[in-house]
Structure 1
């Protein structure tokens, strides 16, 4: 074969790739010769260019240079860790929407894992959450066409769309042998952080559900706390379940709301000293210290774990739930000349006690994400999960997420329940019952505590199933009856009042929230153990 001439596109993309490397170096303020004194980068690039030219000239079908280079960049970053990624310009714009604005679509955090579109977390308040999608769900078909091998760009094209338009997806859920179909109506997805904030029915417990860490998270949290304190809050549940994380600075600002000044909240350490930072509490609030319970689960990641880890290590709040995801890597976003960006891991973060909670990823992405939702692996002190001491001397473990101080168990549901959600039967019955019982709108507390369904409920669900072509399961219906009633009452509350009352209904009846309330005496004892009192 004869040497091949590099075409104009190759020159452009190679230049962009080198500019990307330059952007990293400029950001770190380190000269390439100091970073790679023993490496001949030009030789390695020549090897890549040689393969590229052979592919361009001799591959069986014509290929686009941009796609090849993008794939090479993604492959390069994929060799590093699960969280170092390439963001094309369009993806970067969508990421900005996620952190600052809104978009129109079904509302999910996702990853294409082993060529399968997988739900990381449904966005709180979005259509996907209302349709019952859950972390770990695999979307295997979109509009009856296979989604296997789908790219991120294709996901955005197929699942985003104008408000009011519909999209049909087929979902495969763990421990269920058959997929189920869901038709989701797209909507405007607001990207706020606090989606639920209210007093529980005991009159003293405040509840805040924080969905993510965006630019306004700490500000929203402060406003929610102020409102709850005005309503007589004496103790707080901070719910970080399904919170995938976000901005590091917002995590520290939010933790600062609960910790008096002078305490280290988190610190980062990297290969380059410019990425070494220590974040301390600042006495930014004179808020009275009260018992705090922090709820986490397998979907709580990154910034969520920073907050939960700080509360746990400083003995400021009792952490309950299930072991968190285990993401302890810090990324810097570096813009490239063509409008794209790379998100490069530059440091690891450590909780106040010195814990690195990043889970191993040596076995590849499939095991990495699967292990995060595996309840069968008990964490105990070993070479990976080293013990550390909290401020008051309690033992906590590092190396694999935040292990809760006390475990709670989520409610187990059947496939039949998922089918009812997917067919929007709760939504339809809730709207119908709300019309039939308009008098309930006079008093939410009475509605929550006293309203119940008669024997007609089973008949109505059976009729709805027949209409939707869904087989009614008597056994599953009886097993799921409590949560079925809660779901319909929540939809009634949405119709009789608003979305806030929908979440109030859901959380009032949430068994894990009830368990969290029962841990308040332990949270009070923890305050005494940590010698926390107003002003310290």
Structure 2
């Protein structure tokens, strides 16, 4: 059989290669003309010639004919991967999808994502979306999309995989801190439209509340209208909620901050290598909320970008108390730069800095929690607010008053993983209508409804596995009592213990007894959390009746909000509020 030999370079191939070299050389010369920002020791010209030489040799002499587009696309992809996770390269279709996304309306799951510790991570689920209803949480790691690993994936490629036609389904595998096993979600895509201020209202003791969900085009106007309305109702203090707010438009971040600060106050600075990226943004009009009116800003680990600009400015000017968790630390500026008619690059060109000089952006380094850094990357500089209070850099905004949120119990997390509350509400709602049940602010879950919920769990074969059961099943796999589907036959046989028939029978009998024990224990744990389960059933039915952004739904959700309760307590204690804004006395 004759061996097939590589094709000899043809005249056509040499022409293509020469053309490729000319294109690269043209880019080099153009780059040298306009690139005045590179370091003195950066031999850009020699390095780009080296790249040209490699591309040319591969194109001329590699055993297979590699199309020049594929070669260059792979080279670009390699360069992009060496940068931060927010830098991306777009061809025509990808750029069109980016444009649709930035307009604030898109079809998908309703999550904001980023790359954290080189893993695709959920920044925040958007309220009222499929992801939120399914129980997706901030910090969840998406390790698979449709059975394919997300290792090495870019944000834009992930977005493309997660989006699709409304009504279609996508399956993702989630890895969550505190969970012993990965969780699989199959979620139906919907058209997602983000509102800026889904709810505001008066709480107790003259304290107002505004929830800003996103910095879309109308954010500042909606915040101003909400403040004016609350002032007309006798406002004495304000809670401004930026939790789960992933950010948005920089001009809106500046305009929103202006509602709380006097004119001509520095709000944020951007600093980059290109001179045009170095800008200071000041408030240009008088505040809407009087400066002597107490203010608390709520943040958490999913508060990012524009949210951090607002919180950082309010903190640095001692305009109010920042309360909650350390924020996400997404403090970089992306510029979409056209390369030609078909290609664009979204390039990180600057970083955000608060008025005191803190960089908002968190270094993309390995960490287990939002406020951990390696010693080499830690920001050890001391920053001070207007009143002289010490504030901390290193990425994100560290609250003045830390209050960790109350997390659902383990059985309730498992129920969220099955989307049980939302599915049951849809099933139960028509029955409640037939029974003429009044679903309002005073609605409570009766005995018949909770029994129907447990029947529903049986119908979907819901099985809550506590930590002991998971560990026991792992033991059975290691012991060879049950097959481990994650291993090949050869792997299973090589490490599998050899049991006598007598001992295997005894172990099987023990296993059957343990199964009954675990079942009873799971039922006991569910029953232990009965009141919490009832609250989530109630919330799901209220959402089914009124929708996500209704006042009754919001007030129900806020009624057991640990961070909001702490904020309102501070606002009603004048001396405590003022003390938190003062610098500690020097000895």
TM norm structure 1: 0.82
Q: How many Å separate the matches in 2 of 1:492 and 1:455?
A: 14
Secondary structure at the counterpart of residue 396 of structure 2: coil
Query: Residue 487 of structure 1 corresponds to which residue in structure 2?
Result: 536
- 2-side partners of 1:500 and 1:419: how far apart? 25
Residue in structure 1 matched with residue 499 of structure 2 by the alignment? none
Note the alpha carbon deviations across 1:37-67, whole angstroms, 9 max, x for none: 6655443222112222444456676655434
Distance, in Å, in 2 between the alignment partners of 1:18 and 1:119 is 41
In structure 2, what is the equivalent of residue 327 of structure 1? 330
Aligned partner of residue 86 in structure 1, secondary structure: strand
For residue 128 of structure 1, report the CA deviation from its aligned partner.
0.8
Q: Output the CA distance in 1 between the equivalents of 2:394 and 2:230.
A: 36
Kindly indicate whether the alpha-carbon contact (under 8 Å) linking 2:122 and 2:141 is maintained by their aligned counterparts in 1.
yes
SS of alignment partner, residue 164 of structure 2: coil
Match of 1:256 among 237, 255, 258: 258
How far apart in 2 are the matches of 1:218 and 1:90?
32
Separation in 2, partners of 1:209, 1:248: 18
Matches within 5 A, 1:92-107: 92-107=95-110
Matched, 1:417 2:412: yes
For the Cα contact (< 8 Å) 2:141–2:176, is it kept in 1? yes
| C-alpha distance 407-510 of structure 1, shift in aligned 2 (>3 A) | same
Give how far 1:229 is off. 3.8
Decide whether aligned partners of structure 1 residues 503 and 96 sit closer, same or farther in structure 2, where only a CA change above 3 A counts.
Answer: farther
For each residue in 1:69-96, what CA deviation from the matched residue of structure 2 results, as whole angstroms up to 9, or x when unmatched? 3343343344344443334443433332
- The offset of 1:156, in angstroms, is 4.2
Residue 352 of structure 2, aligned match among 341, 349, 354:
349
- What's the counterpart of residue 534 of structure 1? none
Q: Does 1:120 align with 2:129?
A: no
2:228 and 2:438 map into 1 onto residues whose CA distance is 27
Matches within 5 A, 1:31-180: 31-32=34-35, 35=38, 40-56=43-59, 63-111=66-114, 117-144=120-147, 155-180=158-183
Residues 21 and 103 of structure 1, relative CA distance in 2, 3 Å threshold: farther
**Structure 1 pair 394/7, CA: closer, same or farther in 2 (3 Å)?**
farther
**Where does 1:277-356 land on structure 2 (aligned, <5 Å)?**
277-289=279-291, 290-356=293-359
Aligned-residue offset at 1:109: 2.1
| Cα distance between partner residues in 2 of 1:83 and 1:403 | 23
Aligned-residue CA RMSD (Å):
3.7
Q: Secondary structure at the match of 2:253?
A: helix
- Of residues 112-121 and 217-226 in structure 1, the stretch that sits farther from structure 2 once superposed is 112-121
The aligned counterpart of 1:239 is 241
Tell me: CA distance 1:521–1:124, structure 2 relative to 1, closer, same or farther (3 Å): same
CA separation of 1:74 and 1:490: change in aligned 2, threshold 3 A: same
Q: Which of the residues 560, 563, 570 maps onto 1:519?
A: 570
Question: Corresponding residue for 1:384?
Answer: 379
How many angstroms apart in 1 are the aligned matches of 2:155 and 2:419?
27
C-alpha displacement of 1:320: 0.7
Structure 1 partner of 2:392:
397
SS of corresponding position for 1:295: strand
Q: Report the secondary structure of 1:236's partner residue.
A: strand
Task: Return the alpha-carbon distance in structure 1 between the equivalents of residues 153 and 85 of structure 2.
Answer: 18
Structure 2 distance, partners of 1:10, 1:88, is: 24
Q: Structure 2 vs 1, CA of residues 85 and 392 (structure 1 numbering), >3 Å: closer, same or farther?
A: same
Aligned to 2:204, what secondary structure does the other structure show?
coil
Task: Say whether residues 1:454 and 2:447 are aligned partners.
Answer: yes
For residues 312 and 256 of structure 2, the distance between their equivalents in structure 1, rounded to whole angstroms, comes to: 13
The C-alpha deviation readout for 1:17-40, integer Å capped at 9, x for no partner, is: 976996x99xxxx83367576655
- Paired residue for 2:559? 508
Distance 2:272 2:545 in 1: 53
Q: Secondary structure at the match of 2:246?
A: coil
Task: Report the alpha carbon displacement of residue 169 of structure 1 after superposing the two structures with TM.
Answer: 2.8
- Tell me if the contact between 2:214 and 2:248 (Cα under 8 Å) persists in the aligned partners: yes
Partner SS state of residue 500, structure 1: coil
Deviations 1:141-185 (Å, cap 9, x if unpaired)? 444555556565654454322222333333221232212222212
Over 3 Å counting, the alpha-carbon distance change for 1:512 and 1:500 in structure 2 is same
Structure 1 residue 477 and structure 2 residue 526: aligned?
yes
Verify the 8 A CA contact 1:16 1:337 in the aligned structure 2.
no
Q: Give the SS at the match of 1:176.
A: coil
DSSP-derived class of the 2:308 partner: helix
Q: Give me the TM-score of the superposition, normalised by structure 2.
A: 0.75
